[in-house]
Structure formats: structure tokens, C-alpha cells
Amino acid sequence: MRMLAAELLKLRRRWATYIVLVLLIVLMGLIFFLVGLGGRTSGASQVIRFPQAFGLINQFVFGLGSLLAVAYAAAIGGADWNWGVFRVVIARGESRGRYILVKYIGLAIVILIGCVIAFAAGILLTYFAGTIAGASVGDPFTGSGPGDIATSLALGFPVIAERAAIGFAVAVLLRSQLAGVVVGIILYIGESILAAVLIATNLSGAFSGGGGFPRLGQQWYQFLPFSIGDSVLSHGPSVTGQDLEGLILTPVPLDAALAATLIYLAAALALVVVSVERSEITA
């Protein structure tokens, strides 16, 4: 507990902790402002009415928010190498593996707090957008609202924690903050591009054979680290309507998607613990 309290104190003093959260809320506010303006002349106001609005909030908090969490986790994980903190840890006789796990737990707690704050900000911004659009957004705490909030956080946090763990692990393994950020961005964007290319290839083959509009079933790339998180989030509140991928691919069941997400999380942490324990750290 003493080590965890120390890690939380260090994170509280880091400017990055506040910059990342403020950046997310500002970007979310900008989009809600634009949606509110569009709601005056179109059906966009439906998106900012509860409970549909929870889907839009989720896209920001656990979509864009997860990318920012990867960058934040990489910055925290890689900083210890730059500042020589591990040398101090060894000199104190602390366990390297225990230290790195506690560091991640502290990071996960801060990310959870950030998710709750950002989600609350999203609810307030929904009212802001509704005021601009001149539309009633309803009450987020009636009907299915409380359940939607709980479901969003319960499904979203494991996803954002897994993605942050990947950025954290890469930064520690390569002893570089930049490497963790770059790998996270590549996975975040690259998996979507890969899925789009493979879907297009499969569709091209299906249509050339004279068949109708095909449904491809489950595909292996749905189980990649970031894609599987999207499968988890798809079981929570979402914006009405499906994208092309959702129409063509069979969704991964929630229990399988959540299990795969937790496996990736555990694997990332196990890998970083083994690496730190075996690393040579000179004084």
C-alpha cells in the first residue's frame, strides 16, 4: 500500500495526468458543439438524446480516450528509464516485478478516475449540445440510464486498461516513451486498415463469384488486441446503426471478447515483469 500510495502521488504531480484529460474533454466538447449546431437543421439531435447519447459519449471516452491512455501509459512507463528510477528501486532492495506491477495498478486507478470524470463531462456536454440544438435531451438517470452508465464503465474500463497496458509494456520493454506511443497508434489505426482491406478482398471474391451480399462470419483479425476491445464496446450502449464491418462480420460474443481482452492485459503485464526481472541495470 505504501508503494501504491507513492505511485499515485507521483501521478498526481505529473502534468500529463491533467493535460490528457483536459485534451479529451476539449475535443469531446468541440464535437458536441458541432453536433448541437447540426441538430438545428437535421436529425442529428436524436444522437444527443438519452439513452442514445451514451453511445456517443462511449465513442469518445473509450475510443479516443483509449488512444490517449496508450500515450499516457507509455509516457509514464518509459519515464523511469529516462530518469534512472529503476536504479533507485534496486538500491532500496525493492522487487522489480512488484514495483512495475504496482506502477501499472496506480496508472490504472488514475485512468479509471479519468474515465469517470470524462463520462460525467460527456453527460454535461450533452445538455450543452441540446441547448444549442434547441432540443430536449431527456434525463440520463431515469429508465435504462443508470444501467447504461454502469454497463458503459464496466465494459469500457477493461478495454482502456488493456490498451494502456500494451503502451506501458512496449515503453518499458524498449525503454522508450516514444516507442510505446508509436506502437499504440500503429495498432489503433493499423488494425482498422487491415480489417477494411481484408473485408474488401473477401467481398470482391464473393461478388465475383456471382453470389449475393455475403456475411463472412467471425474472422481472426477480430481478435487482434485493439479490435477485440471494439467487440467488447459494441455490447454496450452505442450510436444507432451499424457500420459495414458490423453488417458483414459475425460479432464476437461478449464473454469471449472480454476474456480475450483480459488475456491480452495479463500477457502484457507478465511480459513486462519478466523483462524487468531479467534486465541488466547498471548503477
Which carries the bigger pLDDT value, residue 277 or residue 247?
Answer: 277
Position 3 pLDDT exceeds 90? no
Residue 120 lies in a domain: yes
Range of the domain at 39: 2-278
Closest CA to 63 of 16, 103, 22, 115: 115
Domain count, the chain: 1
pLDDT per position as a tens digit, 148-160 = 999 999 999 999 9
Using only C-alpha atoms, what is the Rg of the chain? 21
Closest alpha carbon to 180 in 168, 188, 165: 168
Q: Would 158 be classed as within a structural domain? A: yes
Sign of CA dihedral 77, 81, 87, 88: negative
At 120, the pLDDT band (50, 70, 90 cuts) reads very high
Q: Is residue 283 part of a domain?
A: no
Residue 209 belongs to some domain of the structure: yes
- Between helices 96-133 and 145-173, what is the axis angle to 10°? 140
Domain-embedded: residue 168: yes
Q: What is the pLDDT of residues 234-276, one digit of tens each?
A: 898 876 655 656 667 788 999 999 999 999 999 999 999 998 8
Residue 37 lies in a domain: yes
So what's the pLDDT on residue 81?
Answer: 66
Looking at the domain assignment, is residue 114 inside a domain? Answer: yes
The pLDDT assigned to 213 comes to 56
- Tens of pLDDT along 87-98? 676 667 677 888
Domain-located, residue 189: yes
Q: pTM of the prediction?
A: 0.89
Is pLDDT at 140 greater than 70 in this prediction?
Answer: yes
